[in-house]
Amino acid sequence: MATVELTKDNFDQTVSESPFVLIDFWAGWCRPCLQFAPVYEKASEAHPDLVFAKVDTEAQQELAAAFQITSIPTLMIVRDQVAIFAQPGALPEAALTDIIGQARALDMDEVRAKIAASQQGGQEGAAGSAGTTEA
């Protein structure tokens, strides 16, 4: 499958309609980005069931800012609308293959439960500290 160019106009739809999206944040002037591009493209051919997308950080500065991209290339993986991985740096082929395998193996119900628990814990902590200041 060819990579999909993500923009602020199609980002939400692509991520919401696709259960597994890899996103390469890159720029045309970035030498490591250009070196990573063929590795990323080859992985997209090896995993046709996944969506491989690219965000040109120069053309899509709002998207790059929204995801706090400060170093490129940055690879992000979104599964079931949850960002489960983000790492800057050009990855070698073997490392990218390994990360895809690990991301596939994740139990997303468990991931969502951990997110819910951490959010709940943060709310309880805030409520608990508010309660103690009133006493």
- Which positions are annotated as active-site residues? 30, 33
Give the phi and the psi of residue 114 in degrees, each rounded to 5: -65, -40
Residue 133 has phi, psi (to 5 degrees) of: -75, -25
| C-alpha–C-alpha distance, residues 85 and 94, integer Å | 17
Residue 103's contacts (CB-CB under 8 Å, 6 or more residues apart) are 20, 77, 79, 84, 85
Residue 97: other Cβ atoms inside 10 A: 16
Neighbours of 21 (CB within 10 A): 23
